[in-house]
Amino acid sequence: MVTDDSRRLIPRTDRLMELPAVRHARQRLNDRVVRSLIHTVQSEARSGSLSPGDVESAVVAAVESTGSLQPVLNATGIVVHTNLGRAPLSSGAVNALIAASGYVDVELDLTTGRRSGRGAAARAALLNACPAAEDALVVNNGAAALVLATTALAGGAGVVISRGELIEIGAGFRLPELIESTGARLHEVGTTNRTHVDDYAEALGSNAGCLLKVHPSNFRITGFAASVSVRQLRPLADAHGVPLVVDIGSGLLAPDPRLPDEPDFASVLDAGADIAIASGDKLLGGPQAGLILGTRKAVSRLARHPLARALRADKLTLAALEATVVGQSTPTELSLAGDAGRLRVRAERLAAPVGAEVVEHDGRVGGGGAPGVPLAGHAIALPESVAPFLRTGNPAVLPRVHDGVCLVDLRCIPENDDERLGNAIAAALHEQAVGSRES
């Protein structure tokens, strides 16, 4: 029951606005937003769902959790973690983002004072890094690149694709629905597990606009299976005068010996693809972007299509992408290259103060890249009940919960964050112990 006397104990708005934490939050939140948050908390107190004595802490919690994404220490061992924003940017890319936040020459030639091609520097960086490509185009994400390619090249005609490559990936994203949304007709060939050159040849005898080959992401078929390579498809594309489009998925510019079966731009283009597309925020380690590399003729058709304007990348993406391609090793590359022995040493150093065990733990590439390829490493094993306290702590830590154990893998955590992680583990164990005693 809420009485008039208890309502008088609810702190006034002007007093709450002057709390140190609230004043700090007002540097990034306008007063209208802050007052709205305060009024919401005060209303909860008036209704009796919140004690007047808890209003100040509730207001502080509300303003601190509003207006920004919360940084997370990725302790899952998954390098390209979609739920955590995929690839973390390099320091060079971050600096490029800051520089591009103001006025920049994104479509201006400063020498002549005239308008120039958008994203010329990012395009040049991609072409320099992948000489197999004659031209390049950047759009806002990988799905956009696929939509643009099938729309501009198929032109409402059939898109010939193997049934084994009609995949669904995260969040219910289905490749067939995306392609058909462009007005193109899907011409499925082969079966789920086996597709042959003759299957494509028969389909190309009808009204076909382009040949499409898609990296199957996390989906794999083993055993009695057969597929057709890009090199085998090139003569068919030439014979029927249709472009060959290949979605490589994860965005490697060149072969990576650690991921021998992962497709890359250079190899696919050398094998005969007219267009190769991928995401920029996966194995490339850059910002969210759709990368389109290929022949000058094919890329030009995509760039001239009206849809290209709707899908174009903004100045921040272009700046971060260029910095990623020309810069030093990205956090993604460093995580992939993490040494199992060094990871064990780091894990043991953090586990010792809290009496935890260190166990072998294989990381993963993630993001649909190199499915099934283990990344040997080690993790700190904690009670499963600690996981919620790690996720909600400061800093937030996302561990992997598996077989009743909370696993903290350091593969994706920079070594200079080890002290923060150690403090977070100790705090989470303390909170878990307090909660257990109170219950």
Boundary (domain end) residue, out of 273, 300, 327: 327
Same-domain status, 234 and 111: yes
Q: What is the pLDDT of residues 199-242, one digit of tens each?
A: 889 888 767 889 999 987 767 777 787 889 999 999 999 999 99
Q: Are residues 346 and 261 in the same domain?
A: no
Give me the CATH number covering residue 363: 3.90.1150.180
Structure tokens at 343: 């990871």
Our measurement of the distance from residue 329's CA atom to the centroid of its chain's CA atoms, rounded to an integer in Å, reads 17
**Structural domain count of the chain:** 3
HSE value, Cβ hemisphere, 13 Å, CA-based, for 110: 4
CA–CA distance, 155 with 423 (Å, rounded to integer):
57
Model pLDDT, residue 222:
78
For residue 30, the cross-strand partners are none
Task: Give the model's pLDDT for residue 171.
Answer: 65
Give the Å distances, CA to CA, from 391 to 91, 361, 381: 25, 20, 16
133 & 231 share domain: yes
- Segments of the chain with pLDDT less than 50: none
Q: How much is the pLDDT for 438?
A: 65
Residues 191 and 265 in one domain: yes
Is there a single domain that holds both residue 431 and residue 416? Answer: yes
Query: 337 and 274, same structural domain?
Result: no
Concatenating the DSSP letter of every residue in 161-207 gives EEGGG--EEGGGEEHHHHHHTTTPEEEEES-SSB--HHHHHHHTTSS
Closest CA to 117 of 365, 312, 360, 332: 312
Overall pTM surpassing 0.85 (yes/no) = yes
* Whether 20 and 113 share a structural domain: no
Closest by alpha carbon to 293, among 328, 234, 247?
247
**Among 51, 60, 46, 48, which Cα is nearest to 18's?**
60
Expressed as residue numbers, the domain containing 390 is 72-84+333-438
Residue 156 shares a structural domain with residue 252: yes
What's the CATH number where 125 sits? 3.40.640.10
